[in-house]
Structure 1
């Protein structure tokens, strides 16, 4: 009853004031509200490891590879199925920046922090169907080699091109081809960083040059976005050492409800979602809606997630359903028997936390898959 009474007092007192004072008060309240929202959004960005939200122009379509990878490691609510499914905790996909018609590609890796450990680096190229069939019957396989373009005058350069990967490939095949270039990219990031330039060389088994119409790879200039050359990096930024204790579960989603997102009327920060009217310590719904925050233009998936929160009383005696620690049990006994003044009852707090996976565009419009620890309450307990 305190809130309605306070509201009536506030309205009555406001009505008794001169009109210009009311306008000034409303203006001040609005300014303070805007400042609070700005500070809250800034703090939330820090939780997601960003200083400012990425500025994305126009509608962008993420690579199918990244969408498939996200669906493998996260459920429909964004909850990470198993932290060990992913190599590292950040996956980035970079599109070719050269956008030429030839076989030279350039990838800007400046968004990767020097402190991150490169675990896996892959070059993804889409092999097109042959345009020429005149020499197709004479060539069944070709040698495809990936070279790194080393600028003249580079402190470690002894040659202009450095061989990174090479393998035989059927001439008539079509589809995605993946080349592993982890060692080269890791070395490049330690020494230089920034743009890395690669060249694809296709030769016959005899070492001669192949007809360019016979063996072709999609370029970023003349082909659909779904076939663009792409580099994929799996990195670890050092946060994996704090993975929560549910890491050994095969599927964390088995213990999380899969209900649809609650309506907007129940998504407010103060919603308790009265579950059967119970007042004992338990988990309550708390939906974080990225669209309401204004982040829907750069976050691909999920559109929001249920973070949950803990609320309720840890009253004596503490039953098994309250997941109480031994210390909490002793504290509740001390409180119940009034053995020591000022000792409160244990608090209802998260007992187990799960991570979520976020798929989004960064400031360079690269697509990033990143895991964030301790984002979803799994269970609540008295501590």
Structure 2
């Protein structure tokens, strides 16, 4: 009898200590549901940014200084566009030379560019090195630098194996970046990927004779630092740019005539919660909403910004609507109809964004090219009753 009681007590304790089957099902069910929601949310966010999957996270190289400078020119510290007309199109990509040749021949892999994108401008960026000491007293002060597109003469039954794209005079003793327009070649490569046989750079004297390559040297991908590697910069438009220009001067108080703005986000949240707990209605206003790319898990491939303040609109639109609530005429009429109860079921107007600004992302794509892309309607610039 004693043995039976001891065994029963052990079983009872084990049953109490072990979670019930219903509890386990509910617990893991909620976990699975939460993971499904997160996965669906991330997938939808990727669609907003025009991607199917996030680029693979790896130890990336330093982004080209040109791309960093371009980003800082078109975007503020939060990534918000300074002026929508500063950037040609809405996408800029940089490609490094894939040949790594010591000669002046270059080839770029453009497979990451969608066929639907409109090629606006393509530039070849070459870093001109200082002449070697032994050649500094050469009698030539200028040279003619020409960029050619290599052609498959046999395939297209052509008489020439190359086509001139750009040509100009360059000081022999200068150093730094030289930029050549090669838009024609890139457009033909986009139309026929197999036609991409690369580029060739030829340097001649003003008289047309071959130039001493010790005097005129360009950095190559094989022998020089990454910061000086040959680079193709491509400006395109993917068709997602809005037809209506946006007002983007976010420091202009006239562009953002909101009701009194709150300070830090945490203090704003507490004050809003307090008002709601006390039953005090908050009039329509703009409140912070920070999107942190590290929390989403995207910090491995996004260079800048690390996150941005999207803001959101919250509050009531009570009758009568003052001009400080930035109401549309439709919202004013709706508010009057609601107040007079002239039509059953008519609600008060809603507090929504009435100005939206674009942001810019600088990131590595799946082929480790650095991309600058502009996305419309990402930041609530101001709120109003609509």
Q: Alignment partner of 1:83: what SS?
A: coil
Deviations 1:72-130 (A, max 9, x none): 11111111011111111111111111112221110111222222222111100000111
Equivalent residue, structure 1, for 2:294: 291
Q: Alignment partner of 1:274: what SS?
A: helix
Equivalent residue, structure 1, for 2:173: 172
Question: In 2 relative to 1, CA 134–328 (structure 1 residues): closer, same or farther, beyond 3 Å?
Answer: closer
- Gaps spanning 5+ residues in structure 1: where? 1-14
Q: Alignment partner of 2:177: what SS?
A: strand
Equivalent residue, structure 2, for 1:254: 252
Equivalent residue, structure 2, for 1:33: 34
Quick check: 1:82 aligned with 2:88? Answer: no
Distance in 2 (CA, whole Å) between partners of 1:64 and 1:252 is 26
Q: Alignment partner of 1:84: what SS?
A: coil
Deviations 1:314-357 (A, max 9, x none): 11111111111111111111111222211111111111111111
Deviations 1:219-239 (A, max 9, x none): 111111110100111112222
Q: For this pair of structures, how many residues does the alignment match?
A: 360
Distance in 1 (CA, whole Å) between partners of 2:270 and 2:84 is 30
Distance in 1 (CA, whole Å) between partners of 2:74 and 2:204 is 38
- How large is the RMSD of aligned CA atoms in angstroms? 2.7
Distance in 2 (CA, whole Å) between partners of 1:272 and 1:356 is 28
Question: In 2 relative to 1, CA 73–50 (structure 1 residues): closer, same or farther, beyond 3 Å?
Answer: same
Q: Where in structure 2 are the equivalents of 1:62-211 lying within 5 Å? A: 62-134=63-135, 136-155=137-156, 157-192=158-193, 195=196, 197-211=198-212
1:206 positional shift: 2.8
Equivalent residue, structure 1, for 2:241: 240
The structure that has the greater radius of gyration is 2
1:298 positional shift: 0.8
Question: In 2 relative to 1, CA 243–110 (structure 1 residues): closer, same or farther, beyond 3 Å?
Answer: farther
The answer as to whether partners of 1:244 and 1:354 remain within 8 angstroms in 2 is no
Moved more, 43-52 or 24-33: 24-33
Quick check: 1:342 aligned with 2:340? Answer: no
Give the TM-score of the pair, scaled to structure 1.
Answer: 0.87
